[in-house]
Chains A and B, each alone.
Chain A
Amino acid sequence: MAAPLTLLLIVAVTIRAVLFRSSLAELISERVEVVSPLNAWKRVVEGLALLDLGVSPYSGDVFHETPLMIYLFHFTVDYAEIVFMVSPYFVDCLSCLLASLDRAKIFRKQKYALESDRYPADCLELLRSPKEMFYIPLKVAMFYLLNPFTILSCVAKSTCGLNNAIIALFIFCTLKGSALLSGILLALATYQSIYPLTLFAPALLFFLQRLYIPVNLRRSSFWCFTLQYAFIYVGSLVVITGLSFFLLGSWDFIPSVYGFIFSVPDLTPNIGLFWYFFAEMFEHFRLFFICVFQINVFFYTIPLSIKLKEHPVFLIFMQIAIISIFKSYPTVGDVALYMAFLPAWSHLYRFLRNIFLVSCVLLACSALFPVLWHLWIYAGSANSNFYYAITLLFNFGQILLVSDYFYAYLRREHHLTHGLYLKKKDGTEATLVLK
């Protein structure tokens, strides 16, 4: 395992180093699919230049990073390339480790279930064997490091890579079982961009499952732990926000960062659904639709948590995917994060219904994005509708991918409890539908 992993790391470093030194680096850091107003490197440099001129970086509308980022880059701006090279490896090693942790957990669970005869006889082939799961951490590492989206995001020096690193670290600490670190890192991730707030529920469910506390609203042990975890989380968030206030001496960063994320004033095109929608919105309905779209990100948390309360790891994957699709300024770096976890569910392959269609759609859209952008902005022969159409298709493909994996997961769970080869009342082979 160590040798292939090392080889993988070397290949990935080489690719990134080559791209960093080539002329493509400039080109990639300008692409709207890879950077957004929230995490562009150009804006970080602009914010630091404003600070040097004696003007607050938040006085204009060009800089939307948090004060801790300013602090970090103030010292490392000359080594920025190294920082951005290191962070994907960070994410990657963590994903690797957490895939192996997950694997250990799954084996344990399966062992207990087998011993207690909970599985019907014919679904033994659904169980995951150590042999097939041996290479999953390597596959996860490969999926993240060699994913063109990640490479583009890294070469563009988008701070999305750092955000992904924090989320990966948070998942790692959660799976390791350390509630304190997990709460602190979740607070840090929420501080960076608000959407990881929805990851509170899956983390909580994971810890409850780990500590064998049943999720029963009437039990005091449930509330005890929930309040503890919430206290750690909210406390760290308050501390981090207070630290940011003292760093720059004003609360300017709150409307500049969080107000910006929620109210979407900047309509720069990206791969998300917000920009064209709000460019063409009637002024009267703008506030209403902002609220609808933002609530859309957060409101799947409770229903998903109820459905998947015994499977918090899959719930984390679902939440990250929903955030990446429906957030206000998505980039391909966000897409790369949840795609990295797909190999962990490679056993669901037999139940996926649309995987061929989805992969074709995503590949075609990724290829068409730069083409239609060029036609609109540079050639002038297409207009914004073309780029918008590809955005719609890309998001549709992602939604289809996520819901397909969800379907496959639920179906496998159903088979594990009811048996793999189901028969109708008259003995013929049955089809399974959602009713």
Chain B
Amino acid sequence: CQPHPGSFQEELVIRPLHSGDIYASFQFRTLWDTDFLQEGQKKVSHYRLFPKSLGQVLSKFSVQELHISFTQGFWRTMQWGQPFIPSPPGAELWVWFHDTVSDVDGNWKELTNVLSGIFCASLNFIDMTNTVQPSASFKPLGLGNATDHRFLRYATLPREIVCTENLTPWKKLLPCGSKAGLAVLMKSEKLFHSSFHSQAVHIRPICQQCTSKAWELRQTLNVVFDHYTSGQGKKEWSLFKMFSRTLTEACPLASSSKVYVDITDNPELFELSPATPLLSQAVVLGDRRTYSVYDLTRAETFGQLRSFNLLLRWKGDSGDMLRPLLHAERYVAGFGLQTGEIHTVIYNNHPYRAFPVLLMDSVPWYLQLYIHTLTVTSKSRDNKPSYIHYQPAKDRHRPHLLEMLIQLPPHSMTEVTVQFERALLKWTEYTPDPNHGFYVGSSVVSALVPSMVAMSTNFTQDQPLFSSFVPVKEESSYFVRVYTEPLLVNLPTPDFSMPYNVICLTCTVVAVGYGSFYNLLTRTFQVDEPSPPLAKRLANFIRRIRGVPLLA
């Protein structure tokens, strides 16, 4: 058997947020020089660092790129800034298939079922009624000239809940499991006791120094610990307090294992111990940040006790945060169960630059959108989108897809409104708790935001993982994707206890019509001769026998 070289890197970034919360982002990257999709070569069977379950999925369904995320909670952009890797609440799955696939829908259906088994999630609820094919919003993040969006499928399940059941199989995909390295910190009782928890798997082919193609598997876990519920009031954070564990060793299979702490706002903000001489600077999300680096592959990091526990003690009050340049909100307006309006508000906080954003909305079929009521206003003036791709929904078959390219004026608020009507569904199509409402997935706002700081376009091996997730194509802008809130919409409900009664009553009314018409059509008018009473009839009968004349 040929040894396939591969490498595994793990890192943890801790960023204290201005609101007093702590943002911890784990990233685990496995690189593997192999080709799952090449025909003619013998099937890949020797898996070392790359998980076998995912490798088999990739080759069986001819997947070019796979992105799946499970999120609990909503990322508050205005309070926390931009996340390293954005994700919408619930489950989100988008996949680029290889262009040799003939039946994309069949592959998609099987893929969702297989992933549902791998991640113990109910991804089997993804079907054609909530899958869309975005034409511009989800371009491939890895290699590939794929421009035909027939091979792209996007679906989101806003109602999906993330729990320990989903974390355990996710941890099992790591080469060291949860036994060594940074993954020992992932204890579910602490991770789910947070304001925001998101775990994701991103698989894509990348260019390995552009000599050969390699597969990259990134597993990311973002969590925001709430200052008030976890910190017990004291502004002091440590790894032990956050995760109830300390680090004892790096993963032996990892070529690099680092912990980064964002100290850009130091020393006024907090005090870090143990101190470290290693520093690193990186430009991420249009901002130059400085990080203290702890290298876990070096034994000195663990000190005498052979345990590494980071301690952050807050000193001063948090100052002003850099306002994120792009921010979006969404809400439903209107009253009653007949109509409504979806309002999406996008903020451009750049002081002098305007830039275009791509807004993608996927609305379920039972909210019938009226595209002629679409209005886009910026600074109370009409702002016509330059590109609109609209695919109307087909009842019970596919959802609405609306994609628009909107130019946002500098320092402004843009409002996109569209009216909809709520449909009455068949009684079997309602969820068991129909008055809870129906979820509408988050809108996706994708943009290349102009950067105040020059971004680096060179890709080096030593670059921290959190800054190399999204490929940077030009120096002056960086890619940002913002997800809005999912909506909860009530639909009118029929009375679920009534099927038999309704059938009987309606058929009764139809029968009344039928009966009257039948009577009038088949009978004729006759003079009503009353029949003689019984006694008289009996008497006549006897008289007839006797042969005597009958009574009148």
- Which residues of A are at the interface with B, using a C-beta cutoff of 8 A? 30, 32, 42, 45-46, 48-50, 53, 55, 59-62, 265-269, 273, 275-283, 293, 296, 300, 303-304, 306-307, 325-326, 376-378, 380, 383-385, 388, 392, 395-396, 399-400, 403, 406-407, 410-411, 414, 422-425, 430-435
- Which residues of B are at the interface with A, using a C-beta cutoff of 8 A? 335-339, 365, 368, 370-372, 388, 390-396, 400, 423-428, 492-495, 498-499, 502-503, 505-506, 509-510, 512-514, 516-517, 519-521, 523-529
B516 touches which of A60, A279, A283, A403 (Cβ 8 Å):
A403
Bound form: Cα–Cα A297–B138 in Å: 50
Flag if A377 contacts B371 (CB, 8 Å). no
Flag if B427 contacts A279 (CB, 8 Å). yes
Flag if B495 contacts A385 (CB, 8 Å). yes
A279 touches which of B494, B510, B525, B529 (Cβ 8 Å):
B494
Flag if A50 contacts B392 (CB, 8 Å). yes
Bound form: Cα–Cα A388–B391 in Å: 34
A399 touches which of B339, B388, B513 (Cβ 8 Å):
B513
Flag if B523 contacts A265 (CB, 8 Å). no
Flag if A384 contacts B492 (CB, 8 Å). yes
Bound form: Cα–Cα A273–B394 in Å: 24
* Distance to closest chain A CB from B438 (angstroms): 16
**A395 contacts across to B, CB distance below 8 A:** 509
* Distance to closest chain A CB from B543 (angstroms): 19
Flag if B521 contacts A430 (CB, 8 Å). no
A410 touches which of B388, B400, B514, B525 (Cβ 8 Å):
B525
Bound form: Cα–Cα A176–B400 in Å: 50
Flag if A392 contacts B509 (CB, 8 Å). yes
**A269 contacts across to B, CB distance below 8 A:** 424
**A48 contacts across to B, CB distance below 8 A:** 372
Flag if B521 contacts A396 (CB, 8 Å). no
Flag if B423 contacts A267 (CB, 8 Å). yes
B371 touches which of A50, A307, A423 (Cβ 8 Å):
A50
**B400 contacts across to A, CB distance below 8 A:** 60
Residue on B nearest A276 in the bound complex, by CB: B502
Bound form: Cα–Cα A273–B514 in Å: 14
- The answer to whether A53 and B371 touch (CB under 8 A), given A392-B505, A432-B526, is yes
Bound form: Cα–Cα A384–B335 in Å: 17
Q: Is the interface of B mostly helix, strand, loop or mixed?
A: mixed
Q: Is the interface of A mostly helix, strand, loop or mixed?
A: helix
**A53 contacts across to B, CB distance below 8 A:** 371, 388, 390
**A411 contacts across to B, CB distance below 8 A:** 525
Flag if A273 contacts B509 (CB, 8 Å). yes
Flag if A424 contacts B527 (CB, 8 Å). yes
The 3 closest A-B pairs by CB, nearest first: A60-B392, A49-B372, A403-B516
Flag if A266 contacts B526 (CB, 8 Å). no
Flag if B513 contacts A282 (CB, 8 Å). no
Flag if B498 contacts A280 (CB, 8 Å). yes
Query: Could you name 14 residue pairs across A and B whose Cβ atoms are closer than 8 Å?
Result: A30-B338, A60-B392, A60-B400, A276-B494, A279-B494, A280-B503, A296-B510, A303-B517, A326-B513, A388-B502, A396-B512, A403-B516, A425-B529, A431-B528
* Distance to closest chain A CB from B74 (angstroms): 27
* Distance to closest chain B CB from A278 (angstroms): 7
Flag if B499 contacts A280 (CB, 8 Å). yes
Bound form: Cα–Cα A266–B392 in Å: 15
Bound form: Cα–Cα A293–B368 in Å: 27
Flag if A281 contacts B525 (CB, 8 Å). no
16 extra interface residue pairs, beta carbon distance < 8 Å, beyond A280-B499, A326-B513: A46-B371, A61-B365, A268-B424, A276-B502, A296-B514, A307-B521, A380-B337, A383-B493, A384-B424, A399-B512, A399-B516, A403-B520, A410-B525, A414-B524, A425-B529, A432-B525
Residue on A nearest B336 in the bound complex, by CB: A378
A435 touches which of B335, B370, B391, B526 (Cβ 8 Å):
B526
**B494 contacts across to A, CB distance below 8 A:** 276, 279-280, 384
**B365 contacts across to A, CB distance below 8 A:** 61
Flag if B526 contacts A433 (CB, 8 Å). yes
Bound form: Cα–Cα A275–B520 in Å: 29
**A293 contacts across to B, CB distance below 8 A:** 510
Residue on B nearest A383 in the bound complex, by CB: B495
* Distance to closest chain B CB from A249 (angstroms): 18
Residue on A nearest B505 in the bound complex, by CB: A392
Bound form: Cα–Cα A59–B389 in Å: 14
**B393 contacts across to A, CB distance below 8 A:** 60-61
**B396 contacts across to A, CB distance below 8 A:** 265
Bound form: Cα–Cα A275–B492 in Å: 13
Among A266, A269, A325, A403, the one with the most B-chain Cβ atoms within 10 Å of its Cβ is A403
**A50 contacts across to B, CB distance below 8 A:** 371, 390, 392
**B388 contacts across to A, CB distance below 8 A:** 53
* Distance to closest chain B CB from A261 (angstroms): 15
